[in-house]
Amino acid sequence: MSLPKRFPDRDEIAGVRIEVEHLEAGAYLEAEGGVQERRRLAGRVMARRDMGSAVFLDLVDRSGRLQIAFLKKEVAKAVDVKLGDVIGVEGVPGKTRRGEPSLFADEGPLLLSPIATSLPDTFHGMTDVEARYRKRYLDLLMNEDVRGDFITRSRMISAIRRYLDDRGFLEVETPVLQPRYGGAFARPFTTHHNELARDFYLRIATELYLKRLIVGGLERVYELGKDFRNEGVSFKHNPEFTMLEWYEAYADYRDTMVLIENLVADVTHEVLGTTVVQFRGSEIDLKAPWRRLKFADALEEHGLWTRDEAELRRRLTERGIDCSKDPTWAKLADHALSVYVEPGLIQPTILHDYPVELSPFARRTDDDPGIVERFEYYVGGMELGNAYSEINDHADQAERFADQLKDRAAGDAEAEEGDPDYVEALTYGMPPTGGLGLGIDRLAMLLTGRDSIRDVVLFPALRDRS
RNA sequence: GGGCCGUUAGCUCAGUCGGUAGAGCAGGGGACUUUUAAUCCCAAGGUCGUUGGUUCGAACCCAACACGGCCCA
């Protein structure tokens, strides 16, 4: 026997539920003239209450859950479905005598796809964290809140696209396979192209390609896609993660600050109906404007602002910090920041004016050549992203790459390798440009109130179970 | 990398002092005229994460390993 290949003219369960909301107990949904309305629903059977000559099913689709009532004896006797079957039903919407919104089916359900195994416990759901990640389809099926979180994530992403599209940004796609990697401090994944007989890196950022497009005159571009970093896994790190980068010609980092704080606030309000979120035990308000804090002031608050490498190392070591893996001043300052400053940045904070050593693509400030026009923005003690006024002078950029190579020689494996092809692009001239990156998974954590990136990534990276 | 915790039926969990495996839900069979985790009866369901060790005997004690979680670095 062949099962149906389609179930046309389907209604959404949530919509039917709203339609019957106003009815009295025991009433049916009627159109003008007293004719009973009919609706067609499809979904998964998530509960069954069998009375013998009356059968009740709970049917679940993406939008919600509704009871299906089979009250005619012959029909009820023929209802042969088990928990987890995918069925289609047709009937009259209404409320039972006890007031439960229901679809009253006058014929048996149409089996669309039978379950060949058993669903997890429908009362306790699936709670084993490892099982939830490995069999996400069951997690989504059994846990409505999980389903809701991924719907929230999806809405958030489309709202971000809409926000940028409406402001004249062009969505573009640049290579995932790159002959050189750059645009961030991270170790890459390596792969091999057989025909071209060469290795490629999976991108760690889209930055250098997107800025070539600014050279090319596209003026406002963004890319929303996966980056890959061959690093540890934690509550805020997954080896592949979703990143938004945008570049805006004729803007500087102050313009970018205003754009990002408004984007996050507006997108959050559009998705959640409020700018207030709960995250890791804190109530956080994402509405603009956000607090501004200078990098140097942030470290000075903790008595850690000095440009002297030995002195900074001494102060950190004095406090019990292991600096053995921090070969440069830049690494030490970054370490100090992540230990003493970041965890305290709970309400949205724009940390700006970074030391030049940490920022190989950012333009120097007018006042101090050791400081660059760069900011990172933090919420809930977590970095959401990074932005700067982009270097558009080829000689300056070449010099920064050279400085990075010195750091590399000093033992910093994450320092930039340089990219002569990118420097060449800059020799053709690039308009002054503001650029920004935003960690999409981390923003999704904030909007869903989840503590772990694994709860907002559908299929998080796990070890093999051998 | 370190510490702690966990891993028993498809799922959620018990398992006492080391004496040979239990429940609920799901699945199978049956009863039942409006149920809400419906209820009731019957039968079935297991490589106790893996590998070693101790012991007359190990789900339980010991070691290593695997996977996961939390905390620390």
CA of A128 to C1' of B18 (A): 29
What are the start-end ranges of the H helices in A352-417?
Answer: 394-409
Confidence class for position A31, pLDDT limits 50, 70, 90: confident
Is the CB of residue A321 inside 7 Å of nucleic acid strand B?
Answer: yes
pLDDT attached to residue A185: 85
Residues of chain A above pLDDT 90, percent = 81
Find the helix packing angle between A440-448 and A144-166, rounded to 10°. 130
Is the CB of residue A34 inside 7 Å of nucleic acid strand B?
Answer: no
CA of A139 to C1' of B52 (A): 36
- Show which positions of strand B are touched by protein (CB under 7 A): 6, 10-13, 24-28, 31-39, 66-71, 73
pLDDT attached to residue A166: 98
Q: CB under 8 Å to A198, separation ≥6 — which residues?
A: A179, A192
| Whether A122 contacts A87, CB under 8 Å | no
**pLDDT for residue A332 is more than 80:** yes
Q: Which of residues 234-253 of A touch strand B (CB under 7 A)?
A: 234-235
ipTM rounded to 2 decimals:
0.90
Is the CB of residue A155 inside 7 Å of nucleic acid strand B?
Answer: no
Q: How many beta carbons lie within 10 A of that of residue A457, not counting itself? A: 20
pLDDT attached to residue A321: 84
What are the phi and psi torsion angles at A74 (to 5°)? -65, -40
User: Taking residues A32-43, what's their average pLDDT?
Assistant: 90
Nearest amino-acid residue to B65, taking CA and C1': A466
Both tokens assigned to A341? 């400053």
Between A428 and A77, whose confidence is greater?
Answer: A428
CATH superfamily of A13-119: Nucleic acid-binding proteins (2.40.50.140)
Note the pLDDT tens digit of each residue in A107-131: 999 999 999 999 999 998 899 999 9
**pLDDT for residue A388 is more than 70:** yes
Side-chain-side CA neighbours of A37 within 13 Å: the count stands at 16
**pLDDT for residue A283 is more than 90:** yes
CATH superfamily of A140-290+347-455: Bira Bifunctional Protein; Domain 2 (3.30.930.10)
CA distance from start to end of chain A: 38
- pTM of this prediction? 0.93
| Range A98-121 burial, b when 16+ CB lie within 10 A, else e | eeebbbbbeebbebbeeeeeebbe
CA of A466 to C1' of B63 (A): 21
Strand partners, A30: A36
Of A161-165, A295-299, A334-338, where does mean pLDDT reach its minimum? Answer: A334-338
Find the helix packing angle between A144-166 and A253-272, rounded to 10°. 140
Is the CB of residue A141 inside 7 Å of nucleic acid strand B?
Answer: no
C-alpha A174 chain-centroid distance: 20
Q: What is the full DSSP assignment across A283-347?
A: EEE-PSSPEEEEHHHHHHTTT---S-HHHHHHHHHHTT---TT--SHHHHHHHHIIIIIGGG--S
Is the CB of residue A395 inside 7 Å of nucleic acid strand B?
Answer: no
> What is the domain partition of chain A in residue ranges?
13-119, 140-290+347-455
